[in-house]
Structures are given as structure tokens and as C-alpha cells.
Amino acid sequence: MSMRCIRWLAAAALVLLWPAPGHAQQRAGVVSTLEGHVTATRRGLTTVALKFKDDVYLDDKITTGDRSLARLLLGGKAVVTVRERSVLTITEAPGVSTVKLDAGKIGLAVVHERMKPGEVVEIRTPNAIAAVRGTVLVAEVAQATAQSGGPVSSGVTSGIHVLRGSVEVHQLDPRTGSRVGPPTVVNGLQSYTATGGQAGRVAPIPPDQVGHVTSGLTPASGPSAKEPANREQLRAQAVQTATALMTALGGGGDAAPAETQGGRSGSDQGEVSSPTNQPPPPIIPSFERVLLREIRRALAIAEDDLPAIIVKDTTRSMGEHDALAAFAGSFSREKHSPLILIDNSTVRKPGGALVLVEPAGGVSLASGLLAVAGSAIDGTNYNLDTVVASVGVGSGPNFGIGVLPSGSATYVANNTDTTVSVIDNATNTVSATIAVGNNPIGLAISPDGRQAWVSMNAGQVKVIDTATNTVSATIAVGAIPAGIAFAPDGARAYVVNEGANTVSVVDTATRTVLATVGVGSTPFNVALTPDGKYAYVTQLGSNAMAVIDTATNTVVATPNLGAGTQGIAISPDGSRVYVTKPGAFDLKVLETATNTVVGVVNLGNTVRAVGISWDGSRVFVVHPNNNAVSVIDTGTLTVVATLVINSPNGVALSPDGTRLYVPQGGGVNAVTVVDVSPGGALLGVLPGGRLATSSTSPVLGMLNSTFVTDSGVAGLFGRPDQLAAEVDQGNALTLGTDQPVSTGGALFEASGSTISLRGGVLLDSALFLASAPLLSLLGGTTMNVSLDAIRLVKNAKLDSTSAIVNLSASTLSVSSGALASVNGGSLLRTTSDLVRVTNGSTLNLITGPLLAITGNSVVSIGGALIAFGGSAGNVVNVTNSLCASFACGTVSGIKIAFVAGASATQVSITNPIKNAGLGTINMGGNAALVRIEGPAAKLVVSGN
């Protein structure tokens, strides 16, 4: 029988079997848990003893006796737990439901998404009233008089203790009941206390006192719902409340693969073992956990509203390429419970993402995606930089190697024979060998993955159709072609002609040479900036590189590096160029804004090819004469690991950043595969994939949990050829139009959790339209991020009506990067604030700024850079030393580092700090709050 039919029958049974009371009171809810003696006094002064599953009506006065407790499910939007010796009345007026507490203690959880516009639930005590929307709190009243029904004494004390969310509390005159003064905002882990007519005060709730606040609100035993009629009644009355509360307290949920059964995905193998390491005790424990248990109990009554995948009370170890849910096609789900609930468990995910939307995946949900409660997510890759396979290929593989955008295959040019080897990356075996002719050397994969171009010593480029693995065309270029690179949109290819000292610009559609650009002596390799505006060419026979303007096909710069250059890689944000100098045994780092050297890494041996990780955090440099590959941290420009690999010639990285492929010459004739996964993220959406949620719940929610990874929260990718022109602040931009995620809620929200990440949220070549923060940290959460917390690269666009980052009673520390970094011709625009720091929160910016903008990128903020709020005691600490290295200036009181030709004319700032009296900004002597790089970057802060 369908759920709709069951609900209808249950409702019909209620009408037929339960007579309406003579006083025609309107029903307010149902008793879902009851212990001891609980009564309801109705309008006609009739007092009845309540039982499990009884209805509760408006204007009922509910009284709990000694050692008694009641829990009420109210109207699909709230749960009220009533402690012993408490008295309360539930009333309703248009748009306002009121729980009047005369004595005792109650716990209340209200679900925001179940509230109508303008609707509130009020908690009213003799001297205070709190307006509640989407909050978990405890309210209590202590009377100085002996009986709760007596006159209100000046000694009556009311307490409003907020565990999650925030409320506005008005003080009431205890004699007249009228409001006194303006409202006070009380946020998570704060208490409001008022005695008599004295002014109320707000104080923090120490974590070790939460148990005292919630004492008495836990039933000694669970409720009974054994009778079928009872189950049907609760099914009809409680399912919406329970599912909504699970979503609100635990995060959100998403759609599951159809083959998922019993709470386990089809990709999960073997039995799930019992946990060996329990997660640490929660910071905000018992009351929310009690609510969660109550919610689960109610959901168990309505089994079809359970999350589709449940990981509960266990330890699960996953492979890098496993996922709790992976979507390769269309999927939709209309239920309001999470797709995935991880509860009281440890999940180990050393790489990849817990939830993956693949390029052809399209997911539509009526909920969030992932709820994590009381659990530990460990994304650490303990096998980082270890060899996982060696694949034999043809003779003499050189630097020509490329991986398909799908990650399914790797193509290798075998220089001393006549072939290209195709490696199946799933099995690490050669799946095809393609005859191309003598001496193939360079190789590049087109952005759409349909073609592999191979440079041939005879002045040709062979075009391989990757669908059939056959040569489909031969293109004549200059003498001894070597390196090849494609424009981001795939319309042009750039072929370096080592023997002709030129670069051929080829139309990929017609396969004809459009232009031949003269460069310096013995050019070897080429790479394009992510926006496609410039091609950088290394030159073995010259001290200088050549920089080609791709719009005019002319050399516009020749930065001098002091010796010949060979390998090249450009950072994903387009701000840095990494170049190897074989004769000098070093790696040079250029800044693209000025084409000047900003860093050198001395490596002590011959260097050749270079590759860069997908997030730009690590560079891999090949040493062919030293049987090694150096791994360099780009933040510190230091070698952090050395891989022992015989006769390495080149490097290529898989698009997901988990594998490094190293072709080996010197008679080895193999490709070594290295695990370089940066660790496991919660969510990955690959180019072309789409995840849409209609819920206002967080896409990713975390409650009382830990999350540690060498990766980040989420990587959201768009297709680099899906772009649209836009002008903002006078800058002509070309921005991504793919929307990997669309949602009405926060992307990631954590409460009472401890989180340690390498990066936060990456938006790459994509569009994100936000109406809630990307990162929201609440209720004592601590997050440490090594690199950027929010990072936009390659023409990304973030357009928001909300603050980008929200902190409430929490701490966020960014050690090496910026809170928000906007690069590669990207746009960050919000009508609100960049970051809100509220309720005693701390933001630490250790070696980076609050905001970093590079290239042609634009940041437009309608509100403030920093908005303080809630209670006082908020702190922003900025300890970087940017002004020791770069010219700094002050605009509207904000210290800015101007880098690579940037100036104050690119900045407009009004009212950058809101509510300054509620917070403190501590600036180091050489610290800057903002870093702007290049003469085209723009920053506008309107201060509205």
C-alpha cells in the first residue's frame, strides 16, 4: 500500500474512532512519549490523564508530575519535551504558535523549512518571550513562590538556553506582561537569563554545562508503539515532523542508487565490522541526541521515509574510487530524509569523494545530500606518494603523455618505436597500441577528450580518434615538433616546432595552420593560461621564454630566466608558471601578472618535465639522471617528498588528482602509476555533472562529528568550454555557465564539530548561485584549513545573496591561503557580506589574507568585508607578513597589499566593517587584510 493511502486511512481512522471533544478545541499535536503522570486541563476545566498517542489540543494546560515526562509532536513543525513538575499551555494566533511555560523546563526543536513565511513559534515565560524559527533550545522557569499557579513574584527567573540556531528574546514586565526594551539576540551555545523585572543577560554555555542545561529531558525508557493502530496514527501525524527534524539536525540528504538495499550501496563489499575506535564525545550532546533518537523512532514507524543509505554504529574503510553514492545518469528523489546518514560511525575515505556526480550525472532532490551525526570521517591518504602499478609500454616513452578528461585512459608516445600505447586506467594494463610512424615525442589530449594529438619528428602531427584509437588525420607543421597544448575551449592547438624556432597555431576544426609565430632558439614545450589568453613557450637554446598573446598570435613578453628552459606547468588559477631549467638544476616560478621570477627551488640534479596537482598545491619535477621525481609544496616552495622511479621522462596527472603517471625510458619502457590522492572529500561534481536540491537544508551537514582530510569539503567543476561573456566593474569576463550544484541551503554546515582540511570549497570553471553561505560553522565548531577556504579558479562565478562564510560561536583558522581566493578571470559577487563573525567567534588568518584577487578577476561585495554580530567578543586575527614583501596601502581603513602592478585605483571600499563594537580585528605589523595582484583585478565593497 502506498504511503499516501496509509496516511489517508490513518487520518480517516482518527476521525471515525476518536470523537471530537464537545468543546471543539483545535488539535495541536500528539503525545509521542510519556512517562509517569501527565495531565491536560481543558477549557471546560476538565482534567484528563494523558496517555501515549493521545491528542493534545490548543489551550490545554499540560502538567507533569514527579518523575514524569512528556514529548509532543506539534503540527509538523516542532517537538516539545516537557520535564517533570512543569506546567505549560499551547495557544495559537494567526502566524504565531505560543508555548506558555508557567513553571519547570521544556526542550523545543523547531524546523525552519516547515514554517510558513512570517510564521513563528513563541516561548513565553512570566518575564520573557522568545521568537523561534528553526532552533533547538531549552526554556525553564523557577518561581520564588511555592505554587506555580500563585502570583508572579519579583523573584521569578526565566532561562532561554539556545543549543542550535538563534532566537530573539524580549524581556516582559512580570506584572503586566508587556514587552520592555528592544529584543536581544541569543545564539547557539548561549543562555539568556532574567530574574523578575531586572534586565536580562546573555552568557555563553560552556560545553561541560550542556548536560546540566538538558538534564531531565531524556526519557528513562523509549515509548511503546506495538499496536498497529498506534503505529498508523503516529505514521499519519508524525512523519513530516520527524523527517524534517532529522534533516534540520543532521544536515541534508540526497538521492540514492536504485540498487542500494539495507542502507548499503551496491559498491560496498563485504560485511561491515564493529567499530574499534569510537568517535569523541559530542560537544552538544544529550538533548540533540535524544531528539535524534526520537526522530529515528518516528521514522522507523514510517519506514519508507528513512534515508536511502545508512551507515550506523560501525567502522567502514573505503577505497579511493569507492563512493557511498555515485551518479552516472539521471536520478530524482522526492523524500525529505537524507540520501545518506552516517551515524555514530567511523568512515575512512583515503581519496576521491564520499558522494560523486560524474560528467553525465544529473541528480534532483527534495532534501540535502549528506548528514553526519556523532561520527568521524577520516579522509587521510596513508598511502600518499606510493607506487601502485608499473605498466609495460612500447620502446622509449618520452615526455609525451596525457590522460583523458574522464580519467579512463592514458596515452603514451613511445619515442624510439612507431607507436602510442593506450593504458586502461581501471586495470593498469595496455588496452591498445596505435601505429603512428617514426619518433613520436609530444602528446596532448583535447579538452573534450575526443582526440589525442601526437607530434612526429618528420614535421607532422598525428590526430588519434580516442573512440576508435585510430589515426584520423595528419597535419603538417614546422620542423621537429615537440610540445603541444590546446586552448581551454579546444578551438586552437599550439604546436612548438623545435627545429624551426616557431609555434604553429592550428584550427582544430579544419586542421589547418592559422598562424606561425616566431619565437627564440630551440623552443620545446608550451602551456596556456586557464583563460586561454596567453601561451608560454620554453626555449632550450635561450635564456628567455616567449609569451604569446593568443588574440594576436604575437610575442608580447620574453621573461629572462638566465638559462634554457624545458618543462612547464601553469597553476590552476593562472597566477604562476613553473618552469624547469635543465642546466641550472632548478625550478623557476614566474608570476603571470608581471612575468617576473618570484621563486626558485634548487633541486641539485638535471630536471626535465613538470606537472601540477589539480588544486595547485603540489608540483612534480622529473629528474631523468637521478631516478627520482621531486614533490614540491607550492606554498613553501620546498621539497616535501622524493619518489624513486627509474629513468623518468615525463609526468601526467589524472583529472581527479588521484594518480600520477610517469613514463620511463632508459630501457625500462614502462609507465609507473603513483597514488597522489590529496585525500577524501565529502562531495565531488565532475565537469558536466549536476546536483540540484530544492531544500533549504545544508547540502552537506555535520553534527557533533570530526572530519580530517588532505583534500577539502567539495570540488565543484564545470566544463571549461561552457562559458558566457559578462562585464562586471568594467572588466570583461568570460565565465562558466555549468552549475554543478544548485541549492536553497548552505553548501556545508557544521555544528559542534572538529574539522581539519587541506582546502575548503573549490569552484572550477563553474557557476554557483547561492542564497546561503558556502561554509557555515556553528555551535562550537573548529575548522582548520591549510590552503584557501573558498577558492575560485578558471573563469568561475559565485553569485550570492548571502554571506559567503558564516561563523557563529565557532573558530576558523586558515594557515597558508586566504579565506576567499578569486583567480583566473573569476567573479565573486554577493549582495551581502563576505564573512559574518558572530557570537564569540574567531577567524585566524595566519600567513594569508582575508581576500586574495588575481588576474582579471572581480570581487563585488554589497555588504561588508567583515560583519560582526550577536554577542561581543568576536575576534579576527591577521598575522601575515604581506607588507614586508609587497607595497601596501590603506583604503577606507583596510590595509591592502598591491602586487604585480596593482594599485589603489582598482579598489573601492565603503563601510568595510559592520558592527565594529561587537568585534576586534588584530593586525600584525606587516599584515594586510586584502591582496590584489595584477593591474586588472577589481574589488568593490559597498557596505550596504
Helices (H) then strands (E): counts for the chain: 5, 88
Structure confidence at residue 672 (pLDDT)? 97
**Poorest-pLDDT segment among 287-291, 516-520, 608-612:** 287-291
Is residue 755 one of the residues assigned to a domain? yes
CA distance 24 to 417: 92
Q: Can you spell out the DSSP letters for 850-918?
A: SEEEETT-EEEESS-SEEEESSS-EEEEE---HHHHSEEEEETTEEEEEETT--GGGEEESS-EESGGG
Structure confidence at residue 250 (pLDDT)? 37
Structure confidence at residue 763 (pLDDT)? 94
Is residue 938 one of the residues assigned to a domain? no
Structure confidence at residue 16 (pLDDT)? 26
Share of the chain above pLDDT 70, in %: 86
Structure confidence at residue 111 (pLDDT)? 65
The enclosing domain of 134 has a CATH number of 2.60.120.1440
β-bridge partners, 170: 129
Query: Which is it for strands 128-132 and 120-125: parallel, antiparallel or unpaired?
Result: antiparallel
User: Within the chain, what is the greatest distance between any pair of CA atoms?
Assistant: 102
**Poorest-pLDDT segment among 167-176, 318-327, 564-573, 585-594:** 318-327
Is residue 584 one of the residues assigned to a domain? yes
Residue type present at position 536 = Y
Considering the domain architecture, whether residues 30 and 149 belong to the same structural domain is answered as yes
Query: Which is it for strands 842-845 and 811-814: parallel, antiparallel or unpaired?
Result: parallel
Considering the domain architecture, whether residues 59 and 208 belong to the same structural domain is answered as yes
Q: Which residue, of 885, 910, 927, is where some domain finishes?
A: 885
β-bridge partners, 916: none
Per-residue pLDDT tens over the stretch 105-124 = 998 887 665 566 777 889 99
**Poorest-pLDDT segment among 42-51, 604-613, 927-936:** 42-51
CA distance 72 to 60: 13
**Poorest-pLDDT segment among 10-19, 142-151, 191-200:** 10-19
CA distances from 502 to 231, 526, 540 (A): 79, 11, 13
Output 408 or 220, whichever has higher pLDDT: 408
**Poorest-pLDDT segment among 91-95, 98-102, 668-672, 854-858:** 91-95
Nearest to 669 by CA among 482, 468, 433, 480: 433
Contact of 650 with 663, CB cutoff 8 Å:
yes
Is residue 426 one of the residues assigned to a domain? yes
Structure confidence at residue 334 (pLDDT)? 86
* pLDDT (average), residues 850-863: 94
Considering the domain architecture, whether residues 665 and 744 belong to the same structural domain is answered as no
Cell of 814: 586558515
Contact of 320 with 351, CB cutoff 8 Å:
yes
Considering the domain architecture, whether residues 76 and 124 belong to the same structural domain is answered as yes
Is residue 928 one of the residues assigned to a domain? no
Considering the domain architecture, whether residues 708 and 784 belong to the same structural domain is answered as yes
Count of domains observed in the chain: 3
Per-residue pLDDT tens over the stretch 463-505 = 999 999 999 999 999 999 999 999 988 999 999 999 999 999 9
Q: Is the dihedral of CA 426, 428, 433, 434 positive or negative?
A: positive
Is residue 407 one of the residues assigned to a domain? yes
Per-residue pLDDT tens over the stretch 212-222 = 888 888 776 54
* pLDDT (average), residues 777-806: 94
Considering the domain architecture, whether residues 206 and 318 belong to the same structural domain is answered as no
The enclosing domain of 622 has a CATH number of 2.130.10.10
Considering the domain architecture, whether residues 525 and 654 belong to the same structural domain is answered as yes
* pLDDT (average), residues 865-872: 92
Label residue 327 by pLDDT band (50, 70, 90).
Answer: very high
Its pTM stands at: 0.66
Considering the domain architecture, whether residues 625 and 716 belong to the same structural domain is answered as no
Q: Which residue, of 866, 885, 904, is where some domain finishes?
A: 885
Q: Which residue, of 617, 641, 675, is where some domain finishes?
A: 675
Does the pLDDT value for residue 573 go beyond 50?
Answer: yes
Q: List, in order, residues 6 or more apart from 917 with CB less than 8 Å away.
A: 868, 872
Structure confidence at residue 875 (pLDDT)? 98
Across the chain, mean pLDDT equals: 84
Domain that holds residue 752: 244-268+290-382+680-851+876-885
Is residue 917 one of the residues assigned to a domain? no
Residue type present at position 724 = A
Considering the domain architecture, whether residues 771 and 880 belong to the same structural domain is answered as yes
SS3 572: coil
Considering the domain architecture, whether residues 111 and 252 belong to the same structural domain is answered as no
Cell of 646: 627509474
Considering the domain architecture, whether residues 602 and 723 belong to the same structural domain is answered as no
Cell of 669: 619502457
Structure confidence at residue 710 (pLDDT)? 85
Q: List, in order, residues 6 or more apart from 439 with CB less than 8 Å away.
A: 415, 416, 456, 457, 458
Structure confidence at residue 233 (pLDDT)? 44
Does the pLDDT value for residue 137 go beyond 80?
Answer: yes
* pLDDT (average), residues 452-462: 97
Is residue 868 one of the residues assigned to a domain? no
* pLDDT (average), residues 818-824: 93
Considering the domain architecture, whether residues 662 and 785 belong to the same structural domain is answered as no
* pLDDT (average), residues 843-853: 96
* pLDDT (average), residues 48-70: 89
